[in-house]
Amino acid sequence: MKVDRRSFLGLGLGAVAGIAISPVGAKLTDDLSIWTQNWPWTPVPPDGEITYDHSVCSLCPGTCGITVRKIDGRPVKVEGRDTYPVNNGGACLHGIAGLQYLYDPSRVRTPLRKINTRFVPVSWEDALSLVADRLGELREKQTPEALACITDTDQGSVAGLFKHFMAAFGSPNLLTMPDLESWLAKAAETLHGSGHTLGFDLDHADFVLSFGAGLIDGWGSPVACFKAVAGRKQRDAKLIQFEPRLSNTAAAADKWIPVNPGTEADLALAMCGVLLRENLFEPEFADGFKGGFMRFNAMVQEKYPVEAVADLTGVPAVIIEETAIAFAKAKMPVALPGKGRGDGAQSLKEFAAVHTLNCLVGNINKKGGTFVRQNTDYLDFPYPVQDAVARKGMAAPRQAASVQELTARINQSGESELKVLMVYNANPCYSLNDPSSIRTAFEKIPFKVCFSSFMDETAMVSDVILPISTFLERMEDVPSKAGFAGSVVGLAKPVVNPVFDTRSPGDAVIQIARALGGTLSQSFGWRNYEACLEEVAAGIWDDLIRQGYAVLLNPFPAEPVTTDFAFLAENPETIQPAGEYEFTLIPIDNIGITTTVPASSPFAIKTVSDRIIKGQDMFVEINPQTASGLKDGGFVTLTTPAGSARVRVDFNDGIMPGVIGMVKGLGHRFDNKYVAGKGVNVNDLISPVIEPGSGTDAAFGVKAGISRA
Amino acid sequence: MDAALIPEGVKRCSFPKFMLGIAIVGAVLLWGVYAMLLCWFKGLNQTNMNDYYGFALWIWADLAVIAIGGGAFFTGLLKYIFKIDELKNIINFAVIIGFICYSSALLILAIDIGQPLRGWFIFWHANVHSMLTEVAFCLSCYFAVLTIEFIPNILENRQLNKVPFFHHLAHNMHGTMAIFAATGAFLSFFHQGSLGGVAGVLYGRPFAFREGLLIWPWTFFLFTWSAAAFGPCFTLLVTRITEAVAGKKLVKDNVVHLLAKISGWMIVTYIIAKIIDTIYWATVTAPGLGFKMSHFYTNNGFYGYWILIAEIIVCGVIPGLLLINKTTRENPTLRLVAITLGVIGVCLNRWVMVLQVVAVPVMPFDTWALYIPSWQEVATTILPVAYGIILIAVTYRYLPVFPQEVELNQPTAQES
Amino acid sequence: MSEIENKTEHGSMDGATACAAGDPKNDTGLGLGVIFFIVAFLICFLSGWLLFPKLLYSKHEQPFNFDHVLHVEEAGSCDACHFLREDGTFSGIPKMVSCLECHTDEPMGDTPDELIFAREYVAKEREVPWFVYAKQPDCVFFSHAAHINAAGMDCKTCHGPIGETRTSRPYEENRLTGYSRDIWGKNIWGIKKNSWDRMKMNDCAKCHEQETGHKGYCFQCHK
Amino acid sequence: MIQDKIAHKFGMVIDLDKCTGCGSCTVSCMSENNVPFKEDESDKKDSITWMRVYRLTNGKPFPDAQIVYLPRPCQHCGGTGDHGHSPCVSVCPATATDYGYDTGIVSQIYTRCFGCRYCMVSCPYHARYFNWWDPVWPEGMEKYLSPNVSPRMRGVVEKCSFCYHRYQLAREKAYVDGVDEIAEAAYQTACTTACPAAAITFGDLNNPAHKVHQIVKPDPHPDPMNPGVVGKSRNPKVFRLLERLGTNPKVYYMSEREWVRKLGDSYLEGEWEKVKNIYGSASQ
């Protein structure tokens, strides 16, 4: 017997036959397909009990109420909170994508300290004592004013704690970023005296005259504005939009009137002229006029004749007249200042001029009108305990009125007078014009502390980063602002334990003060931030706890309003786009792209059109009529006095000939591939121009040249 | 070296030379296999397909190879059912080509689907309303038939044939071949048609949509007819190429002329039907949905009117006429031109019915979508070509594929 | 005359000679081949039926033994622990909080299992990582409310007499799919005797067809 | 039992004059339905957005240019004659997508789909998306995924489901409450509830009590000019996308602006003028 080919054949055949009539084949075929249905690398979300938490979103000045759906305590969805007095259900895309910020790739996960250009993780204790030591030195040297602090806003108890800290420490150099609220406050202060701010009753107004305000492009409290704009049909209200381009707001408006960029103030003043000439201003309210009303009248008649302004603005004289008259004759007219989101570089002259229209028609503190009200201060901080050092420091002159004034000053001086800088929830090294100059100024400040949730451009240049819990991980009072008619304070509650080793900014400030000891720890006697909040917001605490918010002012302010025209009567100069080029470059606000803190979430970026971002490149809008020699979608080099950038062009019939529109909020340079590294930061192309009246950058646009690249 | 395997009485190139050729084509094959593995393990992100181009190069390749593989069922039909006996001299080769085409089609489908391991769902959870289901069933059944038709030819290999069992098997299978040919023809009629139906039933895509008979849109019949018409062209083309490579005549002219003539008449009748269909679609169907014909063609170079003219006139009418006319048909060069144009024509038709369908914007605010295949797609599409060449080379070398070869290549006096 | 016919003419004879030539060797070879065939066949056949199922599933013991009988006596009914929440969703395997309605970190009885429970889980405030025999894959949406409240079914029909068990059988998991063996059924061919022996889609469909006259639309049970 | 009640026909009407193109619906949908995202989503032909917002222009030059935004979920087509043979359902070879005659919702079963993509080719609305890539979330981010919708694996097609899981949850609630009907408010899609402008109205087109029915006023009779078309709106301002193809979508759109309504379908010269004032057979 000899083993040959046939034997092996038998072996093989036998094996095959044996397997064939066993379950192996059938079972494996089925199981293999089931395996593909349950690939171990495809996540399976655990199921559990569904619960809902109410809170408030503080991603933007909108302050919408949110409801967070949770599964066994794990947040899975953010939605607008029904019956919340700001947004009444509904939410914007950034709020809905809020959960993505919890696990954002650029989250700062632990306190960091910079040791020669590299960040190393340190414990909270080390980080805090490090900061306290540097601050302590300033007080020992009797130079507390060498500390400066930049916060995103001056509203709410966290900003309040920083203010409290600066006062107790002894430095007047507390600055806030230029957001819409700050501009409205400036305008209100200029015309109605300090301590005032403005709100607009858009839900009832029947004639809204918007000077570039992007009502549905992110202006004010976005969701509230969306509702107001969308609800126009029912209460047949009109929206007239003056703007150099067909923004979403202009597209949704009843009438879009293109206006040359940077001439909005002149347009408003010309309209004031028309109202005064035609005696269309409201006599009763006019009783409150003082401070050079006559001079103002004379000035506008002389300096802003309709014909001349028509040439300047590109708006036909007849349209100016008609619109002004229609505005005056409307039952509940409101004029809105603040181009785009109304933050960043704006112009006090423009805000004042536009608001003057409101004053002239006298639809002030009435239903469907403009609310001029005291800053609703629901917070009652105890007076800080100050020692001699602190008093001396507070007596010292304030270094600057705005961040850009400050950085300009530092860049001029050989050595920075400031020794320590604290930045809270702001990204000046990205979101202000000419951020590179701000970075260089910051480099000259020996020690910078950044209270931030994300490793953004500003965090990267600082020496210590204190990681802050996001709005979903901590408690905070969130007051409505940014032109919202009502006055609501919401309570943001932690819906999830901090994902990383982060703390509430309030706690961080208190702990720093404690570490400094002396009068500072006396001024900060609270156990922790929550205890502090409960104490300083005692007046509304019950409401906050019971319903998650408190309504401060209902329905609208009653106190009489006086109006002072002195500022405008002097006819301050209008800041025009600087430079010698043929085009005017203006920044565009896009609802899907955030321009301050934090940067957009992956979901938000995903909604952005491929006519704004394509791969790593961004598009700029240009009217085909003035795009000779260029081709749609082609690459161009955009040149301004401040610099140049390589972008692609998007032929767009919705933008004025001669104007180039460039979206704000792109060109981030930090470690987050979902948002960073896409496009160019338009701020890099614009140099700040400080407006005398406000001491703040008012360079909204800039002259630009464009050539094929 | 492998002399023992080579059929008696025929000349073949030396084994090393043969292996060299195989190695060259084999390299291409391996390239394709590599691309295939990439697609299987990394997923279809390896392709340039996207949500607009859900069907692209691969589906085209499928439809094309099945169309040109139609020579097998049609020749079989003529030989075994209509008893046109001369065709026995080319039927083996037609079957081999068919076998190659259909096995390639199945392979490409296996790469094209996003979840290959679930591929069997199409049979297990079949949706009888779907043309694709019909395709899948008929395709696999007909492939089985082709295999059966191929087996006897394999068994005629000199060594295998020595085994009495195989010998008799081959003999008996030849006897029963008529049944299989009939089944094959029947199955082919359906799946060739269903492939036409795949496009024709898309009532959401006005470019593809056609009215029809009962559940079958006109494209159903057009596809079957065109496969029968152009399939033989491909059979003849490959035969011609094989002859060129082998450097000798393999099939007698009368056989070639006959097949060419039949093909010619089929093409002419088909193209008439196609022209009628196109006119009806352009003037009745599409306008009824609000679309002018000009909507479906663009000047972007990919989908211009040229494609329509190329398909119908240049690669339809012309080859048809060349093949029905005796003088042009029997002129080798013109015949070669005709069959080549024919093959291009049917491929072009399948291309249009797959890619232009998805390229054309349907929503008024939508835009034309363009697509360039990735190298992985190209490689996996060339893979079957390489595999086909190798299979033909091997079968030609070791099997008595061409019954007339010996007779046509008698050694002359000087040689003996 | 074609080559094929050529061959068929003399073929038979060639074949015969071939056989004659190789007779003896062939037989032995063939015989051996047959033996090999049978051996291989038996090995593969048996291992396919007996060994394969063993290899396919991995066994896991529950964290500790759970006496359903005892708990049913104490608690009264299944839904005392496995209840529908107010929003209609099903609570499934009880969480620690439910257990603590009766239990404390001090054992009530004297079984070693309860001791494990008290020491390892209650005391350490950990959830018990039970293996769920009836665990369905992620793609399945199953509404207990629909079957209990609307259809008035009992637990046993699908879950079997688990309430009458004093010990927890080991949980068997398909190594390839991660499914609980209860889904396919104990029988390797998936043959079932009782309504609860198998929990595949067809079993749902069959019952739905009987009860509602329609096996249901995909989304009724898939997500 | 609820399923024994008369069949629902869930659908929505979107007011394009209210829509601001803000993208809340898109994001709400993505976060509700565990839609994945990539580092680069700027290739819109490879970017999964069940609810996609299209930007429409009137094509006029400055200063007459106008924009409108059109949100496009799956249209949940009833198919020719509204018999449930939707373009996609009728072509799926493996029955991975079916038409729920009890809800009018077109399903998509990811574990059944084997990725042939025929349904995508059949859909003129590009409402279907293929998972070209494995879904990958940044480290930790998978923690926010919802258990109500199972994440898709690479190689299958996915699309809008009208948030069917919300319907399921509403039904479960109804079961324990022992009520037969699901209240209009009890089942609303994620895009509807998210829309800040309240531009989306969702409900049962078969239920005269529901807002969507009152706005759309669907015509029960086939369109005399095109028998395949059923459920044409009798509201002059309401239209459907590509209605003439006979796909019978359950998503309706509303606009005061004629140029917008005209963009909803294809018309030969002069056709629009003829048909623009014909709204369903009842208005004949």
- pLDDT tens by residue, D15-37: 999 999 999 999 999 999 999 99
Does position B80 have pLDDT exceeding 90, yes or no? no
pLDDT value for B104? 94
Instruction: Tell me how far apart the alpha carbons of residues B286 and D80 are, in angstroms, rounded to a whole number.
Output: 16
pLDDT value for C53? 87
pLDDT in tens, D58-104: 999 999 999 999 999 999 999 999 999 999 999 999 999 999 999 99
Which residues does chain D have within 8 Å of residue A42's beta carbon, measured at their own beta carbons? 134-135, 151-154
For residue D264, the chain B residue with the least C-alpha distance is B364
pLDDT value for C23? 44
State the pairing for strand pair A65-71/A74-80: antiparallel
pLDDT value for B162? 85
Which residues does chain A have within 8 Å of residue D65's beta carbon, measured at their own beta carbons? 246, 652-654
pLDDT in tens, D203-223: 999 999 999 999 999 998 898
DSSP A578: B
Q: D101 and C217 in contact by Cβ < 8 A?
A: yes
Chain C interface includes D26 (CB < 8 A):
no
Q: What's the Cα-to-Cα distance from D215 to each of A316, A484, D150, rounded to whole Å?
A: 41, 32, 34
Confidence of residue C30 (pLDDT cuts 50, 70, 90): low
Confidence of residue A515 (pLDDT cuts 50, 70, 90): very high
DSSP string, chain C: --HHHHHHHHHHHHHHHHHHHTHHHHHHHHHHHHHHHHHHHHHHHHIIIIIHHHHHEEEE--SS---HHHHHHHH-SGGGTS-B-TTS-B--SPPHHHHTTT--SS-SS--HHHHHIIIIIITTT-------TTPPPTTB---HHIIIIIT---SHHHH-SGGG-SSPPPEEEETTT--BHHHH-SSTT---SSTTS---HHHHHHHHHHHHSS---HHHHB-
pLDDT in tens, A473-504: 999 999 998 889 888 999 999 999 999 999 99
Confidence of residue C132 (pLDDT cuts 50, 70, 90): very high
Closest CA to A143 of A393, A481, A442, A439: A393
In this complex, the residue of D100, D107, D169 whose CB is nearest that of residue C88 is D169
Question: Which residues, including other chains, have CB under 8 Å from residue B407's CB and lie 6 or more apart?
Answer: none
Q: Which candidate in D126, D133, D240, D273 is best for mutational testing of the B interface (most B CBs within 10 A)?
A: D126
Q: Which residues 20-59 of A have a C-beta within 8 angstroms of D?
A: 36-37, 39, 41-48
Task: Report the pLDDT averaged over residues D181-190.
Answer: 94
Confidence of residue B231 (pLDDT cuts 50, 70, 90): very high
pLDDT value for D5? 56
Q: B156 and C14 in contact by Cβ < 8 A?
A: no
Q: Which residues 124-143 of D have a C-beta within 8 angstroms of C?
A: none
pLDDT in tens, A7-26: 778 888 888 888 888 888 88
Question: Which residues, including other chains, have CB under 8 Å from residue A59's CB and lie 6 or more apart?
Answer: A94, A95, A98, A101, A471, A594, A598
CA distance A98 to chain D (A): 10
Does position C70 have pLDDT exceeding 70, yes or no? yes
Q: C43 and A18 in contact by Cβ < 8 A?
A: yes
Which residues does chain C have within 8 Å of residue B174's beta carbon, measured at their own beta carbons? 4, 8
Confidence of residue A81 (pLDDT cuts 50, 70, 90): very high
Which residues does chain B have within 8 Å of residue C16's beta carbon, measured at their own beta carbons? 164
Find the radius of gyration of the CA atoms of chain B. Answer: 22
Lowest mean pLDDT, pick from A287-301, A673-687, B238-252: A287-301
Give percent above pLDDT 90 in chain D: 88
Which residues does chain D have within 8 Å of residue C138's beta carbon, measured at their own beta carbons? 150-151
Contacts of D264-268 with CB under 8 Å at 24 or more apart are D264/B364, D264/D239, D264/D240, D265/B290, D265/B364, D265/D239, D265/D240, D265/D241, D266/B289, D266/B290, D266/B291, D266/B295, D266/B364, D266/D242, D267/B290, D268/B287, D268/B290, D268/B291, D268/B292
Which residues does chain B have within 8 Å of residue A35's beta carbon, measured at their own beta carbons? 117
Task: Report the pLDDT averaged over residues B318-341.
Answer: 94
Q: Determine which helix (DSSP H) or strand (DSSP E) holds B97, and give its type and residue range.
A: helix B88-112
Q: Which candidate in B42, B108, B113, B130 is best for mutational testing of the D interface (most D CBs within 10 A)?
A: B130
Does position B301 have pLDDT exceeding 70, yes or no? yes
Give percent above pLDDT 90 in chain A: 76
Does position C187 have pLDDT exceeding 90, yes or no? no
Confidence of residue A441 (pLDDT cuts 50, 70, 90): very high
Q: D245 and B358 in contact by Cβ < 8 A?
A: no
Supply B381's token pair. Answer: 């599409």
Q: B118 and A33 in contact by Cβ < 8 A?
A: yes
DSSP D57: E
CB contacts < 8 A, A to B, total: 12
Does position A557 have pLDDT exceeding 80, yes or no? no
Q: Which residues 88-117 of B have a C-beta within 8 angstroms of D?
A: 112-116
pLDDT value for B170? 85
CA distance C117 to chain B (A): 43
Q: C33 and A10 in contact by Cβ < 8 A?
A: yes
> What's the gap between Cα D122 and its chain centre?
16
For residue C22, the chain B residue with the least C-alpha distance is B163
Q: Which residues 42-81 of A have a C-beta within 8 angstroms of C?
A: 44-45, 47, 49-50
The residue ranking higher by pLDDT, C146 or C187, is: C146
For residue D149, the chain C residue with the least C-alpha distance is C223
Instruction: Tell me how far apart the alpha carbons of residues D272 and D284 are, in angstroms, rounded to a whole number.
Output: 17
pLDDT value for C7? 39
Confidence of residue A569 (pLDDT cuts 50, 70, 90): confident
Question: Which residues, including other chains, have CB under 8 Å from residue A521's CB and lie 6 or more apart?
Answer: A513, A514
pLDDT value for A291? 74
Task: Report the pLDDT averaged over residues C174-201.
Answer: 88
Neighbours of D180 (CB within 10 A): 9
Closest CA to C122 of C143, C87, C97, C145: C97
Can you give the length of chain B in residues?
416
Q: Which candidate in B156, B176, B399 is best for mutational testing of the C interface (most C CBs within 10 A)?
A: B156
CA distance A33 to chain B (A): 5
Lowest mean pLDDT, pick from A166-180, A646-660, B332-346, C91-105: C91-105
Instruction: Label residue A402 exposed, middle or buried (CB < 10 Å: 0-12, 13-18, 19+).
Output: buried
pLDDT value for C2? 41
pLDDT value for D3? 46
Task: Report the pLDDT averaged over residues A365-383.
Answer: 88
pLDDT in tens, B48-57: 999 999 999 9
Chain D interface includes A633 (CB < 8 A):
no
Does position A440 have pLDDT exceeding 80, yes or no? yes
Lowest mean pLDDT, pick from A375-379, C5-9, C151-155, D227-231: C5-9
pLDDT value for A110? 96
Q: B163 and C2 in contact by Cβ < 8 A?
A: no
Supply C43's token pair. Answer: 């090995």
Question: Which of the given ranges, A2-6, A378-382, D145-149, has the highest pLDDT on average?
Answer: D145-149
Does position A555 have pLDDT exceeding 90, yes or no? no
State the chains in contact with D (3 or more Cβ–Cβ pairs under 8 Å).
A, B, C
Confidence of residue D281 (pLDDT cuts 50, 70, 90): low
pLDDT value for C14? 41
CA distance D225 to chain A (A): 33
% helix, strand, coil for chain A, step of 5:
35, 20, 40
CA distance C166 to chain A (A): 27
CB contacts < 8 A, B to D, total: 158
State the pairing for strand pair C57-60/C171-174: antiparallel
Chain A interface includes B121 (CB < 8 A):
yes
pLDDT value for C10? 42
Angle between helices A264-277 and A348-361 (to 10 degrees): 20
For residue C9, the chain B residue with the least C-alpha distance is B171
Does position C28 have pLDDT exceeding 70, yes or no? no
Task: Report the pLDDT averaged over residues C12-20.
Answer: 39
CA distance B82 to chain C (A): 19
pLDDT value for C16? 39
Q: Which candidate in B42, B118, B123, B125 is best for mutational testing of the A interface (most A CBs within 10 A)?
A: B118
pLDDT value for B317? 95
Using left for φ > 0, alpha for ψ between -120 and 50, and beta otherwise, residue C45 falls in alpha
Task: Report the pLDDT averaged over residues A565-587.
Answer: 89
DSSP string, D174-235: HHHHT-SSPPGGGS--HHHHH-TT--EEEEETT-TTSHHHHHH-B-SSEETTEEEEES-B-S
Task: Report the pLDDT averaged over residues A251-258.
Answer: 95
Residue D236, preceding bond cis, omega within 30 degrees? no
State the chains in contact with A (3 or more Cβ–Cβ pairs under 8 Å).
B, C, D
pLDDT value for A283? 77
pLDDT in tens, A134-183: 999 999 999 999 999 999 999 999 999 999 999 999 999 999 999 999 99
Give percent above pLDDT 70 in chain B: 98
Chain A interface includes B367 (CB < 8 A):
no
Chain A interface includes B120 (CB < 8 A):
yes
Task: Report the pLDDT averaged over residues B35-49.
Answer: 95
Instruction: Tell me how far apart the alpha carbons of residues A493 and A472 are, in angstroms, rounded to a whole number.
Output: 7
> What's the gap between Cα C13 and its chain centre?
59
Q: Which candidate in A96, A232, A588, A659 is best for mutational testing of the D interface (most D CBs within 10 A)?
A: A96
Lowest mean pLDDT, pick from A665-679, C96-110, C135-149: C96-110
pLDDT value for A163? 94
Confidence of residue A508 (pLDDT cuts 50, 70, 90): very high
For residue C6, the chain B residue with the least C-alpha distance is B403
Chain A interface includes B117 (CB < 8 A):
yes
pLDDT in tens, C83-113: 999 999 999 999 999 899 888 878 888 889 9
Q: B44 and D85 in contact by Cβ < 8 A?
A: no
Q: Which residues 231-260 of D have a C-beta within 8 angstroms of B?
A: 241-242, 244-247
How high is the ipTM of this complex?
0.91
Query: One-letter amino acid identity for B169?
Result: L
Does position D43 have pLDDT exceeding 50, yes or no? yes
Task: Report the pLDDT averaged over residues B32-46.
Answer: 96
Chain B interface includes D66 (CB < 8 A):
no
pLDDT in tens, A692-705: 888 889 898 899 99
Which residues does chain B have within 8 Å of residue A29's beta carbon, measured at their own beta carbons? 120
